[in-house]
Amino acid sequence: MQQRLTQLYQDFFAAASIRHNLASRLVCPLLLAVGPRWEHATRRVLIVGQETLGDWSFRAGERYNWPHPPLDSLLDFLGHRELISAIVEVYLSEVHRLRICCDAASDLTVKGGTPFWDAVGYLTSVPASGILWTNLIRCALRQGSAIAAVHRRTLTLDDLHEILDFQNGLLAREIKVLTPTAVVFLTGPRYDHALSKEFPAATFLPMGNHRNRELARIADPGLPSSSFRVYHPHYLRRSGKWQLLDELRALT
C-alpha cells in the first residue's frame, strides 16, 4: 500500500502546477505514511483536519534525519520531487512534535494534549483500529491559515482557488489507495467550500436533531459510507458540544 501511495504522490505532483510566487508562500505538502497496522486493521479511520499549519518544512538539524537540501516551501518541494520518499518517512517522525507517537508497526497512536489530538485519540481508541491523519488544505500559508488570510485580505480569493485547484484530487486518490472504513472531517462548516471542491458530488445529510453546520453525514461516491463532518474540536470544547464525538465514535 505504501508503494502505491508513494507512486501516487510522484505522479500527482509531476502533473500539478501553481504559480511560483504563490508556491513560495506555501508550506510543503503533508504526505502520508502507512504501516502494517493500518493495512491489517478491521477499523481504519482517516482523520482530516483543516490546514497544514505551522512550519511544515524539511531541513537538517530537526528531530528527524534529513541529509538532503532544505525544503522551506512548496516551491522548494516542487523542485525536489525526488525527495518524496524521504518526506513520507518524516511523516512518521515529525508527528512526535505534534503529540502523536508511532508504534513498532509504524502506525500512529495519539498521546493527546490539544483539543484536536484529544478528539483524534477519543475517536480512535477502539481495539483493532488503524489511524491516519491529514488535512483538507495540504499547503497552507507559511505565515498561517489560508482561509484566515482571505478574510484578512492578505490572500486573494483567486489565490485560494488556485491552491485548491493545485491539490484537487489528491485526497480522493489517497482514499482510493488507503480504503478507510471511516473518514471524519474535523473541519467545521467554514471549510465546506474546500471539501466540496475535492468532492464535488458530496451531499451533507442531516443527523438526528443536529444542524448540518455542527454535524453531518457526507454522502459521496469517493468516500466510505461512514463519512462525517463535525465542528473543529477547539470549537466543540468551547461550545460545550464535545458529546458530538460520542455519536461519531459509535458510528465509525
Q: What is the mean pLDDT of residues 35-39?
A: 82
Residue 109 predicted with pLDDT over 70: no
The predicted pLDDT at position 150 comes to 92
So what's the pLDDT on residue 72? 93
Q: Please provide residue 217's backbone torsions phi and psi, each rounded to the nearest 5 degrees.
A: -85, 140
Span 1-21, average pLDDT: 95
Angle subtended by helix axes 170-178 and 2-15, to nearest 10:
160
Measured from the Cβ of residue 50, the count of other Cβ atoms closer than 10 Å reads 22
When divided into structural domains, the chain yields a total of 1
**Of 94-108, 182-196, 221-235, which gets the smallest average pLDDT?**
94-108
User: Can you tell me the mean pLDDT for 186-197?
Assistant: 95
- Asked whether residue 122 carries a pLDDT value surpassing 60, the answer given is yes
Domain span at 162:
2-251
Checking if the pLDDT of 233 tops 60, the result is: yes
* 173 φ/ψ sector (left φ>0, alpha ψ -120 to 50, else beta): alpha
Minimum mean pLDDT range among 20-24, 27-31, 87-91, 199-203 = 87-91
